[in-house]
Amino acid sequence: MSDAVLLDVADGVATITLNRPDVRNAIDLPTSLAIAECLDEVDERPDIAVAVLTGAGSTFCAGMDLKAFAATQERPIHDRRGAFGIVRQPCEKPLIAAIEGKALGGGLEIALACDLVVAADSSRLGLPEVKRGLVAAAGGVLRLPRRIPQAVAMEMILTGEPLTAEQARGWGLVNRVAPDGQALAIARQLAAAVAANAPLAVRAAKRIALDSADWAADEAFDRQVAYTDPVRSSSDAAEGARAFVEKRAPRWTGS
């Protein structure tokens, strides 16, 4: 795995670190491939329940590495996971963004590919592409109106102006605001709360929440059965019931 992306695993939580602080963690093609490789490993390893994505140094991610693109003409796109190795197909397990500094353009699009967001108090989140004659086509204009009220999303998209961390939390884009320098620590606390739950149930719940966005109302309950029946009949479901009756912490096996 590339040194541009680091993976650390402890207590069921994977920490993925974009490790290019000298270019504000901008993404070139090798880095996008390394991100996709990390997400593959997160999905495949049974000892990982949830992942946290963060950036080294003072910036979460500056989006595409324009200098690298100018030199190579290679866009940072993975053939399956899409731009930046993540935006088209994030990992199946829960993913939490831990943002310090700026998450603008592609940086915010990477955060929007995550399920939960923790942002440091002085961080800024925005899509400034229109200021540069571009469109936030790596998920920005697609996902932002689905995460926050459309009027707010449209103002961000059309003006290119960012939100503060507190504003983003007020509109539901950010789950937790952390003191500067503590976003990763708070994100890991949130990840630990997720990792304490039954892994099959967590993955199925995430999948339903995302896949059901375009389900017809009169079909939704029937369609979720394919996701929920395997969980209901799992060993973990039985263990959860036993642990409740016996007043102890459950011992999940992921089966």
Domain range annotation of the chain:
5-195, 199-246
pLDDT in tens, 163-207: 999 999 999 999 999 999 999 999 999 999 999 999 999 999 999
Sign of CA dihedral 46, 85, 87, 11: positive
pLDDT in tens, 36-52: 999 999 999 999 999 99
Q: Which of 41, 92, 100, 109 is catalytic?
A: 109
Cα angle 29, 33, 38; round to 5? 145
Active site residue 109: yes
pLDDT (average), residues 212-233: 96
pLDDT of residue 1: 60
Q: Residue 141 is which amino acid?
A: V
Asked if residue 116 lies in contact with residue 190, where contact means CB atoms within 8 angstroms, the answer is yes
- What is the gyration radius of the CA atoms in the chain, in angstroms? 19
pLDDT in tens, 89-102: 999 999 999 999 99
- Residue range 199-246, CATH number: 1.10.12
> Percentages helix, strand, coil for the chain, rounded to the nearest 5?
45, 20, 35
Stretch among 1-5, 115-119, 227-231 having the lowest mean pLDDT: 1-5
- Residue range 5-195, CATH number: 3.90.226.10
pLDDT of residue 78: 96
Q: Whole-model pTM?
A: 0.95
Q: Percent of the chain at pLDDT above 90?
A: 98
pLDDT of residue 2: 75
pLDDT in tens, 23-35: 999 999 999 999 9
Q: Which of 129, 128, 93, 135 is nearest to 114 (CA)?
A: 93
pLDDT (average), residues 209-224: 96
pLDDT (average), residues 133-151: 97
Q: Which of 74, 92, 100, 129 is catalytic?
A: 129
